[in-house]
A and B are shown apart, each in its own frame.
Chain A
Amino acid sequence: MANWKKITRRSFMVLGAAVAGGAAFGVYKVTEVPPNPLQAAAGAVPLNPWVIINADGVTVIAPRAEMGQGISTTLAALVAEELDVDWAQVRVLHGPPAQAYFNAGFVDRMSNVPDFINASAPKSHNAIMAAVPKIFSMQLTGGSTGAIGGFEQMRLAGATAREALKAAAAQRLGVSADQLKTEAGMVIGSQSFTYAELAEEAVALVPSDVPLRDPSSWRYLGKPMPRLDMEAKSTGTAQFGIDTWLPGMKFATVRMNPKRGGAMKGFDPAPAMDIAGVEKVIDLGTGIAVVASNTWSAIQAAALVEIDWGHADYPTDSEKMMVRIERAFLEEADSRLRDDGDVQTELAKGGLIEAEYRIPFLAHAAMEPLNAVAWLKADGTLEIWCGNQAPIMTRDACAAAVGLEADKVTLHTPVMGGGFGGRTDTVPAVLAAKVALELRGTPVKVTWSREEDMTQDYYRPAAIARLTGRLDGQKATALWGKTAVPSAARNALNRMLGFAPPGPDRGSVEGGFDQPYGIPNYRYDGHISDLSVPLGFWRSVGNSMNAFFLESFIDEMAHAAGADPLAFRLELMEATHAPSAAVLAKVRDMSGWDALKRPGFGRGVAFCYSFGTPTAQVLEVQETADGIRMTRAWIACDPGLALDPSIIEAQMTGAMVYGLSAAVQGAITFADQQVVETNFYDYEPLRMQNTPSFEVAILQNNGKFGHMGGVGEPGTPPAAPALANALFDLTGRRGRSLPLGQEFDFAA
């Protein structure tokens, strides 16, 4: 994979032709088994790409990156369930860049059919699509797909390893393997052996396929497992990328053009060189790096470098950007992914409800600022440590940046101090590699200041939506949603791959077009804006935008109909998708919805079916002397099969906090082409004292058995509309622009 971009582009084109023509895609490639990237070492025998047998237990190699979502624990539990090891014997590490670690779960994100329809369709209905993640070596963490992609793969990894170990013991004992059993890391027969004793003999005996255990026998899956990273994260011993520490290493920071994409016309490093500890200022083309004896001195010095920045090719400020986005409404819709019934005829009957909503850009603002460690060694190889969501792409981008073949680059993917979609880009690793090129032989840690992290982010786009609806009595008969937005997916894919697949842009309308509301005339359009501000994938992507638009508007329709907003939703959903209706009913019951309405309090409900998981939330707000407080929140979700209820509860809660943080006061704005907000004092998330209490219910009705929705993102989309709807209930004022803190007085 020397030239990832070129190969991927060509392959996508071939795929496009294959899908369009209905032809079988290169069969040998679909069935080919990717090679095992793991090599044996003293006391460590890999039986397949996911299982290493050690003297004192097993090491599970996780194909997905851990950024807090708990995936490493769940992937390890899937292996342990089949391998018969005690939980205390299990360790987990992230795998190297390798095709074997492709993410089969991405298939679930490749359809433009609403998920609530797909969930009940047969799983492998399209073998060509199912092979895509493997063929394209999609070693990606994202899209709430980790457990979905690992569900069969990791259990199979454990089961085949177990059978190989049994076969090795059977050879030793001269019996057939089915006379042996396994337990706590041992094969037990007339004589018992530890897995470690058998591992080397087992290598040649790994079967390609074995039956998986019946779920009724599961010991670990479906139970709250102690997270494997919890002790390290409670003792300061977890090694994040930023904690990489090598003897003799230097410390650096970067300062890139704040007018994003603009040139650097020149710079004067002299003022920086006056700072004690500063060793070097490096020209990175569109910015500079400062190398010092410590990170703080580097950051102080970088701010002093006098730089002549060239301009960006986008408007000067947020107001002008919104004008530019609004202009997209004048063009014909290019992403119409839902068009049920005859919207225009129904709306022509008049008596319409109309509303416009506006939302700002958002930053990821993970707690661990962007960083990477790079070391160009004397032998010409490059070693990189960087928390990232796309190892193969990151490695290849680093190789290209310093003129090496990919096999000369080693990339480590340490645990991440938050990701939220913000560690998909290859930029941190690539810039660190470029700094290392100037410090040949010396390892260097490059750390972004918080200000640089926030102003050089790839943002959730700003957007404008216009919705029109019609009621017949208390019943919604038509809904036409239009979202004008620059495409995050096209923007990011063009930057990372050099191209973006053609066709409708699901990411711009998801959360709007794909909801299980049985409105007979239902159309949802995306109008893609040409605004060129750098964009990326932000937790729940387009759902974070369209759920606010649609769920606010559904609320407006309910009020116009004089209906209870929860009952209004339930009625629209009951005949369309029963599991979605069930989460609404659940959140109604657990919150005591009817009793929440009382003087001084407001209640809001919102729903979104995203990443395969219908999720409903109720939020209570209270008017106090200090301002409005968010007091209590209830979440009901249905991910289908729930592999770890404790992790799911944590993800649902955290995702709602993330959404509420943005809804209350999150906004990235521009002035003079530069981002205005630079740190947590002007991009302020929720804190302990203004976070509500939570109650979470996990239902398991969705899809057939084994259907799994994601859990990392679906808690975010309903948060903002639940708050807006609660504020309307409390104050009678409808907040149609985010963040809501601009119009409403929240308690600090």
Chain B
Amino acid sequence: MTIQLTVNGAALTVDLPGDVPLLWALRDGLGMTGTKFGCGVAACGACTVLVDGAAVRSCQMPIGEVTGQITTIEGLGQPGNLALIQQAWIKHQVAQCGYCQSGQIMQATALLAENPAPSDSDIDAAMQGNLCRCGTYPRIRAAIHEAAQMMKAG
């Protein structure tokens, strides 16, 4: 079954059954592996992408039902052309294993778009669905505050 998706501004075609979740269409169908598989049940947040700017768990969204613009970590910024939030992540040396960080960054991107100056409890509320087994939470928190400052400074 051929399905059209708009990913990072590009119209792409994927040939997979319509009930396959977006996560697997990105990873296995399109070879876009920046979005990660962690649990398959929306319990870890590793697969978080933006659909029309809202953070969603791509492991729970059948491709046959996706409407809207999909943004993945690849579309946020790349080496040499980093988004502010990625610069903040690097400045605070957040990642350890790094596996959850695509999802963390996408979730934080959605938070900052909605709330440009989040408090610690705003961050707790927004980020509680994103697991990190390396325990990078304190540096994630610092990087989100940093990104908010950078965005404010323009």
Residues in chain A within 8 A of chain B (CB atoms): 67-70, 224, 226-227, 229-240, 242-243, 245, 251, 276-277, 293-297, 299, 365-369, 415-420, 447, 449-450, 646, 650-651, 653-658, 661, 679-681, 685-689, 691, 693-694
The docked-state distance in angstroms from the alpha carbon of A224 to that of B101 is 21
10 CB contacts below 8 A, A to B, read A234-B94, A234-B98, A237-B34, A237-B79, A277-B16, A295-B28, A367-B46, A368-B36, A417-B99, A679-B40
A296 to chain B, nearest CB (A): 4
Asked if residues B93 and A366 are in contact (CB atoms below 8 Å), the reply is: no
B142 to chain A, nearest CB (A): 10
Identify whether the interface residues of A are mostly helix, strand, loop, or mixed: loop
Asked if residues A236 and B73 are in contact (CB atoms below 8 Å), the reply is: yes
Asked if residues B99 and A679 are in contact (CB atoms below 8 Å), the reply is: no
Q: Quick one: which of A230, A365, A417, A657 contacts B93, CB cutoff 8 A?
A: A230
Q: Quick one: which of B94, B99, B131 contacts A240, CB cutoff 8 A?
A: B99
Asked if residues B28 and A650 are in contact (CB atoms below 8 Å), the reply is: no
> Hey, which chain A residues are within 8 Å of B82, CB to CB?
231, 234-235
> Hey, which chain B residues are within 8 Å of A658, CB to CB?
133-135
Given the interface pairs A295-B37, A694-B138, the reply to whether A233 lies near B101 with Cβ below 8 Å is: yes
Chain B residue at smallest Cβ distance from A419: B97
Produce 1/0 per residue, B94-114, CB < 8 A to A. Answer: 111111111001000000000
Given the interface pairs A238-B98, A294-B24, A694-B138, the reply to whether A231 lies near B131 with Cβ below 8 Å is: no
Produce 1/0 per residue, B110-146, CB < 8 A to A. Answer: 0000000000000111011111111111111100000
A76 to chain B, nearest CB (A): 15
Given the interface pairs A67-B97, A368-B99, A691-B137, the reply to whether A449 lies near B16 with Cβ below 8 Å is: no
Number of A-B contacts (CB under 8 A): 200
Given the interface pairs A277-B17, A680-B43, the reply to whether A236 lies near B35 with Cβ below 8 Å is: yes
Q: Quick one: which of B27, B98, B124 contacts A417, CB cutoff 8 A?
A: B98
The docked-state distance in angstroms from the alpha carbon of A239 to that of B27 is 12
Asked if residues B131 and A293 are in contact (CB atoms below 8 Å), the reply is: no
Asked if residues B17 and A68 are in contact (CB atoms below 8 Å), the reply is: no
Q: Quick one: which of B35, B95, B137 contacts A657, CB cutoff 8 A?
A: B137
Asked if residues A416 and B37 are in contact (CB atoms below 8 Å), the reply is: no
Asked if residues A245 and B123 are in contact (CB atoms below 8 Å), the reply is: no
Asked if residues B37 and A227 are in contact (CB atoms below 8 Å), the reply is: no
Q: Quick one: which of A294, A685, A687, A693 contacts B138, CB cutoff 8 A?
A: A693
Asked if residues B31 and A245 are in contact (CB atoms below 8 Å), the reply is: yes
Produce 1/0 per residue, B13-51, CB < 8 A to A. Answer: 000110111011101110101111111110110100000
Q: Quick one: which of B37, B95, B129, B137 contacts A233, CB cutoff 8 A?
A: B95
Given the interface pairs A235-B79, A653-B135, the reply to whether A417 lies near B36 with Cβ below 8 Å is: yes
> Hey, which chain B residues are within 8 Å of A236, CB to CB?
33-35, 72-74, 102
The docked-state distance in angstroms from the alpha carbon of A276 to that of B16 is 9
B86 to chain A, nearest CB (A): 5
Chain A residue at smallest Cβ distance from B31: A245
Asked if residues B133 and A418 are in contact (CB atoms below 8 Å), the reply is: yes
Most buried by B among A232, A646, A650: A650
Asked if residues B16 and A294 are in contact (CB atoms below 8 Å), the reply is: yes
A335 to chain B, nearest CB (A): 31
Asked if residues A230 and B97 are in contact (CB atoms below 8 Å), the reply is: no
The docked-state distance in angstroms from the alpha carbon of A418 to that of B135 is 11
> Hey, which chain A residues are within 8 Å of B16, CB to CB?
277, 293-294
The docked-state distance in angstroms from the alpha carbon of A245 to that of B132 is 24
B3 interface residue per 8 A CB criterion: no
Asked if residues B43 and A681 are in contact (CB atoms below 8 Å), the reply is: yes
The docked-state distance in angstroms from the alpha carbon of A480 to that of B128 is 43
Given the interface pairs A68-B134, A365-B133, A653-B138, the reply to whether A242 lies near B37 with Cβ below 8 Å is: yes
B77 interface residue per 8 A CB criterion: yes
The docked-state distance in angstroms from the alpha carbon of A276 to that of B34 is 26
> Hey, which chain B residues are within 8 Å of A651, CB to CB?
96
Asked if residues B34 and A366 are in contact (CB atoms below 8 Å), the reply is: no
The docked-state distance in angstroms from the alpha carbon of A646 to that of B95 is 12
Q: Quick one: which of B74, B77, B90, B132 contacts A230, CB cutoff 8 A?
A: B90
> Hey, which chain B residues are within 8 Å of A243, CB to CB?
33
> Hey, which chain A residues are within 8 Å of B98, CB to CB?
68, 229, 232-234, 238, 415, 417
The docked-state distance in angstroms from the alpha carbon of A251 to that of B29 is 10
The docked-state distance in angstroms from the alpha carbon of A230 to that of B41 is 28
Given the interface pairs A233-B101, A236-B72, A367-B132, the reply to whether A680 lies near B96 with Cβ below 8 Å is: no
B78 interface residue per 8 A CB criterion: yes
The docked-state distance in angstroms from the alpha carbon of A369 to that of B100 is 12
B95 to chain A, nearest CB (A): 4
> Hey, which chain A residues are within 8 Å of B31, CB to CB?
245
A716 to chain B, nearest CB (A): 10
Chain A residue at smallest Cβ distance from B129: A687
> Hey, which chain B residues are within 8 Å of A365, CB to CB?
133
Asked if residues B135 and A691 are in contact (CB atoms below 8 Å), the reply is: yes
A420 to chain B, nearest CB (A): 7
Chain B residue at smallest Cβ distance from A275: B17
Asked if residues A235 and B44 are in contact (CB atoms below 8 Å), the reply is: no
The docked-state distance in angstroms from the alpha carbon of A369 to that of B76 is 25
Produce 1/0 per residue, B71-92, CB < 8 A to A. Answer: 0111011110010001001100
Asked if residues B36 and A650 are in contact (CB atoms below 8 Å), the reply is: no
The docked-state distance in angstroms from the alpha carbon of A243 to that of B32 is 9
Asked if residues B132 and A234 are in contact (CB atoms below 8 Å), the reply is: no
> Hey, which chain A residues are within 8 Å of B135, CB to CB?
653-658, 661, 686, 691
Q: Quick one: which of B20, B39, B134 contacts A680, CB cutoff 8 A?
A: B39
* 16 more A-B residue pairs beyond the given contacts A299-B40, A688-B130, with a C-beta to C-beta distance below 8 A: A231-B79, A234-B101, A235-B78, A235-B79, A240-B36, A294-B16, A295-B37, A367-B36, A367-B38, A367-B44, A367-B132, A447-B37, A450-B39, A658-B133, A681-B41, A691-B138
> Hey, which chain A residues are within 8 Å of B73, CB to CB?
235-236
The docked-state distance in angstroms from the alpha carbon of A658 to that of B115 is 30
Asked if residues A418 and B97 are in contact (CB atoms below 8 Å), the reply is: yes
Name the 10 nearest CB pairs between A and B, nearest first: A236-B34, A657-B135, A417-B99, A233-B98, A68-B97, A236-B73, A68-B96, A654-B135, A243-B33, A689-B124
> Hey, which chain A residues are within 8 Å of B138, CB to CB?
653, 691, 693-694
> Hey, which chain B residues are within 8 Å of A420, CB to CB?
133
Asked if residues B133 and A296 are in contact (CB atoms below 8 Å), the reply is: no
Most buried by A among B79, B82, B123, B138: B138
